[in-house]
Structure 1
Amino acid sequence: MSTKYFVDLEGKYLGGFVGAEPPEGAIEVVGPPEYGTQKWDGSKWVGDLPAKTLPKRDFMKLFTDNERRQISGAAMQNVDVSLWKDGLLLADDIRLDHPDLLSGMDAIVAAGLLTESRKNAILAGEAPT
């Protein structure tokens, strides 16, 4: 017996079924989604990849030593930078598309601590060279 994959009427993935009946109204599709938040549009799975999430330590390694020093120094004088840094300390993990992270990164650029291109590289998860 082979696995059959199903979605609901809204295109949400219901799962794979082997020898069991899917819920009433389920629609069979060609295979499972690549990740759970994708939806079936009638012919293919669609949706953005989930945001990359990093442990705090790995996120901080995306900054150079000099950038970290400048940010720490600026946090003593700039409330926006300080609040961003406090948010990092409270977070379990860092989601690279989180609105708080993005506004803090914008504050760091506005304070002249990073260029826009460095900010974009960090948010893309690129380690410094």
Structure 2
Amino acid sequence: MSETSTLTIQVSGLRNANGNLCVALFNSPDGYPSNITEAIRLSSVLIETTPQVILFEELAYGTYAIVAFHDENGDSKLNTNFLGIPKEGIGFSGDPKIWRGVPAYEKVKFEFTPEEKTIGITMKYLL
């Protein structure tokens, strides 16, 4: 049986408290980042504070990637313009630059270990 603990995700940079913060946790490139039904954990919470904190409890230590988005209109999806550019805030583990598109899983993956239990994500708004 693998060891587990609580992963704390702190999301900062939210431009307002409208809608929800959606966070998807992936343990492989499958489905990352747009098919959140393939995420191993998913959380959607009303925004109350900044930074907003999300907890994934009883999570096995291992390699993961996180994608988060600010669902400002509460429709449970990341809205984009006709070019596919997000209209709502988006962020990834590792806080990569996103002006060139969605970062690959390999760029945002991290090791969840007994020593590394907190991940910070800064929300980015492109429009």
Structure ranking higher in helix proportion: 1
Q: TM-score, normalised by structure 1?
A: 0.21
Please say which structure displays the higher CA radius of gyration: 1
